[in-house]
Amino acid sequence: MTLPDLPPLGGASLVECFVHWKQDMAVLLLRLPNAPDLLVHLHGLVQLRLDRGAPGGEQVQSLNGPIKTAAGSRSLRLEMVGGGLLEVEFTSLKVQQAFPGQEHVNDADLYAKFSEILRATVHSLAIHELQSVRLLPRIGVLKTVPHEVHEYPTDLADPPPEAYEQMQVWTIGSQGGRWRVEMPLWTLKGPSGLAISMEVHRVDDDLVGYLEAVVAR
């Protein structure tokens, strides 16, 4: 989910800072105490300074910015409890919720993978192509259209790309590698009164999605 701007970061910790100079961007993974973790994408990177300070001292003590510089760029300064410092100058930023259990910036690919799994399953349900819909291993294979879909007064349709920003994700258990993913289903007129719930499991180096339920919302 994309957020309109950077929220207050009191008590947050800097988990990881990834810099890609060829793409002129940096991405911060921030862990918040009482809110979902954040991915902060800083585009049009002008300069970046990162001093780690004391080991384990990555908790944010103070935040200054983002503020506009005389050159027209934006500046962000994070001071850490352990003496560390992060100063970044950039042209634009995008703030997204990280996924539960995310440990690395590059795990942001989970958003694309979860979206792909949902997109394929929703499309199969919309056209009643059941053989391509996986169910949880303990349940088996989907053989009939879910009752909620069959009885719904309007045919389902493929959601627009921006609809996937509304997906919600929770971790399952404490071992990692399993998530529950939910989002509204759509018709040609917009969001429907139904939602899809899936479990996504990490299997070897791949992610596999299983339909859990279609429910009224």
Using one digit for the tens of pLDDT, what is the confidence trace for 49-99? 988 776 666 888 888 888 898 889 999 998 888 888 889 999 999 888 887
Please report the pLDDT score of residue 54 as a whole number. 62
Distance CA 207, CA 103 (A): 17
Backbone angles phi, psi at 153, to 5 degrees: -70, -15
Let me know: does 199 contact 136? Beta carbons within 8 Å.
Answer: yes
CATH fold for domain 105-216: Nuclear Transport Factor 2; Chain: A, (3.10.450)
**Nearest C-alpha neighbor of 1 from the set 95, 96, 94:** 96
| Greatest pairwise CA separation for the chain in angstroms | 63
Q: Give the torsion sign (CA, 111, 113, 114, 116).
A: positive
Please report the pLDDT score of residue 160 as a whole number. 94
The CA distances from residue 195 to 88, 97, 132, 146, in Å, are 40, 21, 19, 12
Please report the pLDDT score of residue 159 as a whole number. 94
Please report the pLDDT score of residue 137 as a whole number. 67
Provide the mean pLDDT of the chain: 84
Tokens, residue 78: 């994070």
- Whether pTM exceeds 0.85: no
Using one digit for the tens of pLDDT, what is the confidence trace for 161-200? 989 888 888 888 767 778 899 999 999 999 999 999 999 9
Q: What is the residue extent of each domain of the chain?
A: 2-97, 105-216
| Contacts (Cβ under 8 Å, ≥6 apart) of 175 | none
